[in-house]
Amino acid sequence: MRVVVSGGSGFLGSHLCEALLRRGDSVRCLDNFASSSSANVAPLLREPGFECIPCDVTVPFRVSGGVDAVVHLASPASPFDYARLPLETLAAGSQGTENMLRLAVRHRARFVLASTSEVYGDPRVHPQDEDYWGNVNPVGPRSVYDEAKRFAEALTMAYRRSQGTDAGIVRIFNTYGPRMRAHDGRVVSTFIRQALRGEALTLFGDGSQTRSFCYVDDMVRGLVAMIDTHRPGPFNLGNPGERTVRQLAELVLLITGSGSGLRFLPLPVDDPVRRRPVITRAREELDWHPRVPLEEGLRHTVDWFASQPDTLARPRERPAVGRPS
Protein backbone atom coordinates (compact mmCIF):
# COMPACT_ATOMS: atom_id res chain seq x y z
CA MET A 1 0.00 0.00 0.00
CA ARG A 2 0.93 3.66 -0.39
CA VAL A 3 0.31 5.24 3.01
CA VAL A 4 0.46 8.89 4.11
CA VAL A 5 1.04 9.37 7.85
CA SER A 6 0.65 12.81 9.40
CA GLY A 7 2.70 13.26 12.55
CA GLY A 8 4.87 10.41 11.29
CA SER A 9 8.04 11.58 13.01
CA GLY A 10 6.46 11.49 16.47
CA PHE A 11 6.82 8.74 19.04
CA LEU A 12 3.93 6.62 17.82
CA GLY A 13 4.04 7.81 14.21
CA SER A 14 7.66 6.78 13.69
CA HIS A 15 6.96 3.27 14.96
CA LEU A 16 3.97 3.04 12.62
CA CYS A 17 6.04 4.21 9.62
CA GLU A 18 8.67 1.60 10.47
CA ALA A 19 6.11 -1.20 10.74
CA LEU A 20 4.48 -0.28 7.41
CA LEU A 21 7.84 -0.23 5.63
CA ARG A 22 8.73 -3.57 7.19
CA ARG A 23 5.70 -5.21 5.62
CA GLY A 24 6.46 -3.71 2.18
CA ASP A 25 4.32 -0.57 2.10
CA SER A 26 5.61 2.79 0.87
CA VAL A 27 5.22 5.62 3.35
CA ARG A 28 5.14 9.41 3.16
CA CYS A 29 5.55 11.07 6.52
CA LEU A 30 4.15 14.59 6.95
CA ASP A 31 5.41 16.58 9.93
CA ASN A 32 6.51 20.05 10.97
CA PHE A 33 8.38 18.77 14.06
CA ALA A 34 6.67 21.14 16.51
CA SER A 35 6.35 18.33 19.07
CA SER A 36 8.44 15.58 17.48
CA SER A 37 11.96 14.92 16.21
CA SER A 38 13.32 14.19 12.77
CA ALA A 39 15.79 11.85 14.50
CA ASN A 40 12.94 9.37 15.00
CA VAL A 41 12.71 8.74 11.26
CA ALA A 42 16.32 9.43 10.27
CA PRO A 43 17.14 5.70 9.92
CA LEU A 44 14.13 5.28 7.62
CA LEU A 45 15.44 7.81 5.10
CA ARG A 46 17.68 5.08 3.69
CA GLU A 47 14.60 3.02 2.80
CA PRO A 48 13.55 3.40 -0.86
CA GLY A 49 9.86 3.40 0.04
CA PHE A 50 10.07 6.20 2.62
CA GLU A 51 9.81 9.96 2.22
CA CYS A 52 9.66 12.58 4.98
CA ILE A 53 7.96 15.80 3.87
CA PRO A 54 8.09 18.93 6.07
CA CYS A 55 4.44 19.94 6.09
CA ASP A 56 1.86 21.76 8.19
CA VAL A 57 -1.35 19.82 7.63
CA THR A 58 -3.47 22.59 9.15
CA VAL A 59 -3.11 24.53 5.87
CA PRO A 60 -4.04 23.14 2.42
CA PHE A 61 -1.37 20.93 0.87
CA ARG A 62 -0.92 18.43 -1.95
CA VAL A 63 0.70 15.02 -2.06
CA SER A 64 1.86 13.79 -5.45
CA GLY A 65 1.38 10.25 -6.66
CA GLY A 66 -1.09 7.61 -5.57
CA VAL A 67 -2.40 7.16 -2.04
CA ASP A 68 -4.15 4.06 -0.69
CA ALA A 69 -4.42 5.00 2.99
CA VAL A 70 -4.22 8.15 5.09
CA VAL A 71 -3.48 8.02 8.83
CA HIS A 72 -3.96 11.23 10.82
CA LEU A 73 -1.79 11.17 13.94
CA ALA A 74 -0.76 14.83 13.86
CA SER A 75 -1.32 16.64 17.14
CA PRO A 76 0.52 17.55 20.30
CA ALA A 77 -0.40 14.61 22.52
CA SER A 78 1.10 15.24 25.96
CA PRO A 79 -0.18 17.67 28.60
CA PHE A 80 3.08 19.62 28.37
CA ASP A 81 2.74 20.08 24.62
CA TYR A 82 -0.91 20.98 24.36
CA ALA A 83 -0.57 23.42 27.26
CA ARG A 84 2.30 25.05 25.33
CA LEU A 85 0.51 24.90 21.98
CA PRO A 86 -3.22 25.26 22.68
CA LEU A 87 -4.28 26.95 19.44
CA GLU A 88 -2.09 24.66 17.37
CA THR A 89 -3.65 21.64 19.08
CA LEU A 90 -7.15 22.83 18.19
CA ALA A 91 -6.03 23.51 14.61
CA ALA A 92 -4.56 20.01 14.26
CA GLY A 93 -7.86 18.48 15.34
CA SER A 94 -10.02 20.73 13.13
CA GLN A 95 -8.31 22.06 9.99
CA GLY A 96 -5.69 19.31 10.11
CA THR A 97 -8.29 16.57 10.25
CA GLU A 98 -10.32 18.07 7.40
CA ASN A 99 -7.27 18.52 5.17
CA MET A 100 -6.27 14.90 5.73
CA LEU A 101 -9.84 13.79 5.03
CA ARG A 102 -9.82 15.78 1.78
CA LEU A 103 -6.60 14.02 0.81
CA ALA A 104 -8.30 10.67 1.37
CA VAL A 105 -11.36 11.77 -0.63
CA ARG A 106 -9.23 12.92 -3.59
CA HIS A 107 -7.51 9.54 -3.76
CA ARG A 108 -10.47 7.40 -2.67
CA ALA A 109 -8.20 6.16 0.10
CA ARG A 110 -8.83 4.60 3.48
CA PHE A 111 -8.75 7.23 6.27
CA VAL A 112 -7.84 6.41 9.88
CA LEU A 113 -8.18 8.99 12.64
CA ALA A 114 -6.03 8.50 15.72
CA SER A 115 -8.34 9.75 18.44
CA THR A 116 -7.78 9.31 22.16
CA SER A 117 -9.18 8.00 25.41
CA GLU A 118 -9.31 11.66 26.44
CA VAL A 119 -12.64 11.92 24.62
CA TYR A 120 -14.03 10.15 27.72
CA GLY A 121 -12.70 12.95 29.95
CA ASP A 122 -12.90 12.12 33.66
CA PRO A 123 -15.25 9.19 33.10
CA ARG A 124 -18.29 8.48 35.24
CA VAL A 125 -18.56 5.03 33.68
CA HIS A 126 -15.89 2.44 34.40
CA PRO A 127 -14.43 0.71 32.48
CA GLN A 128 -15.04 2.68 29.28
CA ASP A 129 -16.53 1.15 26.15
CA GLU A 130 -17.07 2.92 22.85
CA ASP A 131 -20.74 3.65 23.55
CA TYR A 132 -19.87 5.92 26.48
CA TRP A 133 -20.14 9.60 25.49
CA GLY A 134 -17.71 10.91 28.08
CA ASN A 135 -17.48 13.57 30.76
CA VAL A 136 -15.36 16.39 29.36
CA ASN A 137 -14.96 19.92 30.71
CA PRO A 138 -15.15 22.03 27.51
CA VAL A 139 -13.47 25.08 29.08
CA GLY A 140 -10.87 23.44 31.33
CA PRO A 141 -7.09 23.44 30.80
CA ARG A 142 -7.20 20.02 29.10
CA SER A 143 -10.09 20.95 26.82
CA VAL A 144 -7.99 22.00 23.84
CA TYR A 145 -6.86 18.40 23.35
CA ASP A 146 -10.04 16.62 24.46
CA GLU A 147 -12.39 18.77 22.39
CA ALA A 148 -10.10 18.85 19.36
CA LYS A 149 -10.24 15.07 19.22
CA ARG A 150 -14.00 14.97 19.82
CA PHE A 151 -14.49 17.41 16.96
CA ALA A 152 -12.13 15.35 14.79
CA GLU A 153 -14.28 12.27 15.45
CA ALA A 154 -17.46 14.15 14.51
CA LEU A 155 -15.83 15.44 11.33
CA THR A 156 -14.59 11.98 10.38
CA MET A 157 -18.04 10.46 10.74
CA ALA A 158 -19.64 13.38 8.84
CA TYR A 159 -17.35 12.66 5.90
CA ARG A 160 -18.17 8.98 6.08
CA ARG A 161 -21.92 9.61 6.11
CA SER A 162 -22.11 12.49 3.64
CA GLN A 163 -19.21 11.76 1.28
CA GLY A 164 -19.02 7.98 1.52
CA THR A 165 -15.41 8.25 2.72
CA ASP A 166 -13.87 4.96 3.85
CA ALA A 167 -13.08 6.42 7.27
CA GLY A 168 -12.55 4.91 10.69
CA ILE A 169 -11.63 5.96 14.23
CA VAL A 170 -9.41 4.44 16.91
CA ARG A 171 -9.31 5.77 20.47
CA ILE A 172 -5.78 5.34 21.79
CA PHE A 173 -5.20 4.79 25.51
CA ASN A 174 -1.90 5.45 27.31
CA THR A 175 0.93 4.18 25.11
CA TYR A 176 4.61 3.94 26.03
CA GLY A 177 7.89 2.65 24.64
CA PRO A 178 11.20 3.67 23.05
CA ARG A 179 11.38 7.14 21.44
CA MET A 180 9.19 8.82 24.01
CA ARG A 181 10.54 12.24 24.90
CA ALA A 182 12.00 12.29 28.39
CA HIS A 183 10.38 15.65 29.18
CA ASP A 184 7.02 15.25 27.46
CA GLY A 185 5.12 15.26 30.75
CA ARG A 186 3.72 11.74 30.36
CA VAL A 187 3.81 9.58 33.44
CA VAL A 188 5.91 6.68 32.08
CA SER A 189 8.65 8.85 30.58
CA THR A 190 8.66 11.13 33.62
CA PHE A 191 9.05 8.27 36.10
CA ILE A 192 11.80 6.58 34.07
CA ARG A 193 13.71 9.85 33.62
CA GLN A 194 13.48 10.67 37.32
CA ALA A 195 14.47 7.15 38.39
CA LEU A 196 17.51 7.05 36.10
CA ARG A 197 18.61 10.48 37.33
CA GLY A 198 18.14 9.55 40.99
CA GLU A 199 15.39 12.12 41.48
CA ALA A 200 12.21 11.67 43.48
CA LEU A 201 9.32 10.36 41.38
CA THR A 202 6.53 12.94 41.35
CA LEU A 203 3.01 11.62 41.88
CA PHE A 204 -0.11 13.75 41.73
CA GLY A 205 -2.70 13.31 44.46
CA ASP A 206 -2.11 10.13 46.45
CA GLY A 207 -1.19 8.08 43.38
CA SER A 208 -4.38 6.02 43.53
CA GLN A 209 -5.66 7.19 40.13
CA THR A 210 -5.47 4.41 37.54
CA ARG A 211 -4.26 4.11 33.96
CA SER A 212 -3.97 1.30 31.42
CA PHE A 213 -0.58 1.17 29.71
CA CYS A 214 -0.12 -0.32 26.23
CA TYR A 215 3.32 -1.02 24.74
CA VAL A 216 3.97 0.74 21.44
CA ASP A 217 4.42 -2.46 19.40
CA ASP A 218 0.94 -3.59 20.41
CA MET A 219 -0.55 -0.20 19.57
CA VAL A 220 1.06 -0.22 16.14
CA ARG A 221 -0.44 -3.64 15.40
CA GLY A 222 -3.85 -2.16 16.19
CA LEU A 223 -3.29 0.80 13.88
CA VAL A 224 -2.17 -1.46 11.05
CA ALA A 225 -5.25 -3.63 11.56
CA MET A 226 -7.39 -0.50 11.31
CA ILE A 227 -5.69 0.54 8.07
CA ASP A 228 -6.43 -2.89 6.61
CA THR A 229 -10.14 -2.97 7.45
CA HIS A 230 -13.06 -0.91 6.14
CA ARG A 231 -14.85 -0.79 9.49
CA PRO A 232 -15.68 2.64 10.95
CA GLY A 233 -15.18 2.01 14.66
CA PRO A 234 -14.65 3.74 16.92
CA PHE A 235 -12.38 1.12 18.46
CA ASN A 236 -10.69 1.39 21.84
CA LEU A 237 -7.03 0.46 21.50
CA GLY A 238 -5.37 0.00 24.86
CA ASN A 239 -4.37 -2.49 27.49
CA PRO A 240 -7.29 -3.49 29.74
CA GLY A 241 -4.85 -4.18 32.59
CA GLU A 242 -5.44 -1.39 35.11
CA ARG A 243 -2.66 -0.11 37.41
CA THR A 244 -2.53 2.72 39.90
CA VAL A 245 0.01 5.43 39.23
CA ARG A 246 1.72 4.49 42.50
CA GLN A 247 2.02 0.86 41.37
CA LEU A 248 3.61 2.10 38.15
CA ALA A 249 6.10 4.21 40.11
CA GLU A 250 7.07 1.28 42.30
CA LEU A 251 7.50 -0.96 39.25
CA VAL A 252 9.77 1.60 37.56
CA LEU A 253 11.89 1.82 40.72
CA LEU A 254 12.17 -1.97 40.81
CA ILE A 255 13.17 -2.29 37.15
CA THR A 256 15.70 0.57 37.24
CA GLY A 257 17.11 -0.40 40.63
CA SER A 258 16.85 3.26 41.58
CA GLY A 259 16.93 4.42 45.17
CA SER A 260 14.69 7.38 44.39
CA GLY A 261 11.81 8.17 46.69
CA LEU A 262 8.29 9.40 45.96
CA ARG A 263 7.10 13.01 46.08
CA PHE A 264 3.40 13.87 46.12
CA LEU A 265 1.97 16.98 44.47
CA PRO A 266 -1.58 18.39 44.22
CA LEU A 267 -3.83 16.68 41.68
CA PRO A 268 -4.14 18.71 38.43
CA VAL A 269 -7.50 20.12 37.34
CA ASP A 270 -9.70 17.62 35.45
CA ASP A 271 -7.15 14.80 35.80
CA PRO A 272 -9.06 11.53 35.20
CA VAL A 273 -9.40 9.37 38.31
CA ARG A 274 -9.85 6.03 36.53
CA ARG A 275 -9.12 4.92 32.98
CA ARG A 276 -9.46 1.43 31.53
CA PRO A 277 -10.66 0.41 28.05
CA VAL A 278 -13.14 -2.24 27.11
CA ILE A 279 -11.57 -3.80 23.99
CA THR A 280 -14.25 -6.37 23.11
CA ARG A 281 -15.04 -4.60 19.84
CA ALA A 282 -11.36 -4.53 18.78
CA ARG A 283 -10.95 -8.21 19.67
CA GLU A 284 -14.00 -9.25 17.66
CA GLU A 285 -13.75 -6.95 14.64
CA LEU A 286 -9.98 -6.33 14.31
CA ASP A 287 -8.73 -9.57 15.90
CA TRP A 288 -6.54 -7.37 18.10
CA HIS A 289 -5.47 -7.45 21.71
CA PRO A 290 -2.25 -6.41 23.47
CA ARG A 291 0.41 -9.08 23.96
CA VAL A 292 3.29 -7.38 25.77
CA PRO A 293 3.07 -7.46 29.60
CA LEU A 294 3.69 -4.15 31.37
CA GLU A 295 6.86 -5.38 33.09
CA GLU A 296 8.38 -6.52 29.78
CA GLY A 297 7.46 -3.32 27.96
CA LEU A 298 8.84 -1.16 30.76
CA ARG A 299 12.16 -3.04 30.68
CA HIS A 300 12.48 -2.36 26.94
CA THR A 301 11.63 1.29 27.53
CA VAL A 302 14.04 1.69 30.45
CA ASP A 303 16.82 0.08 28.40
CA TRP A 304 16.17 2.55 25.57
CA PHE A 305 16.23 5.58 27.87
CA ALA A 306 19.40 4.30 29.55
CA SER A 307 21.03 4.12 26.10
CA GLN A 308 20.11 7.77 25.46
CA PRO A 309 21.63 9.59 28.46
CA ASP A 310 21.75 12.94 26.67
CA THR A 311 17.95 12.96 26.40
CA LEU A 312 17.54 12.82 30.19
CA ALA A 313 18.98 16.29 30.81
CA ARG A 314 16.45 19.09 30.84
CA PRO A 315 16.28 20.58 27.34
CA ARG A 316 15.90 24.20 26.43
CA GLU A 317 12.21 25.01 25.97
CA ARG A 318 11.02 24.72 22.40
CA PRO A 319 9.70 27.91 20.80
CA ALA A 320 5.94 27.92 20.31
CA VAL A 321 6.04 28.67 16.59
CA GLY A 322 4.18 27.13 13.68
CA ARG A 323 1.27 24.76 13.83
CA PRO A 324 2.01 21.16 14.70
CA SER A 325 1.65 18.38 12.20
Rounded Cα gap, residues 5 and 55, in angstroms: 11
Rounded Cα gap, residues 317 and 311, in angstroms: 13
What burial letters (b/e) apply to 44-54, b meaning 16+ CB within 10 Å? beeeeebbbee
Q: Which of 82, 120, 145, 176 is catalytic?
A: 145
215 is catalytic: no
CA distances from 84 to 10, 72, 199 (A): 17, 21, 24
Q: Where are the beta strands (DSSP E) in 18-68?
A: 26-31, 50-54
CA gyration radius, the chain: 19
Alpha helices (H) in the chain, listed in sequence order: 11-22, 79-84, 86-93, 95-107, 143-163, 187-196, 216-228, 245-256, 280-286, 294-306
Q: Which residue, 169, 97, 57, is CA-closest to 28?
A: 57
Alpha helices (H) in 164-208, listed in sequence order: 187-196
Rounded Cα gap, residues 5 and 13, in angstroms: 7
161, with CB counted inside 10 A (0-12, 13-18, 19+), is exposed
Q: Contact, 35 vs 85, CB < 8 A? A: yes
Contact residues for 63 (Cβ-Cβ < 8 A; gap 6+):
4, 28, 30, 53, 103
Q: Give CB contacts under 8 A, 24+ apart, made by 161-166.
A: 163/105, 165/101, 165/104, 165/105, 165/111, 166/104, 166/108, 166/109, 166/110, 166/111, 166/230
Q: Provide the annotated active-site residues.
A: 145
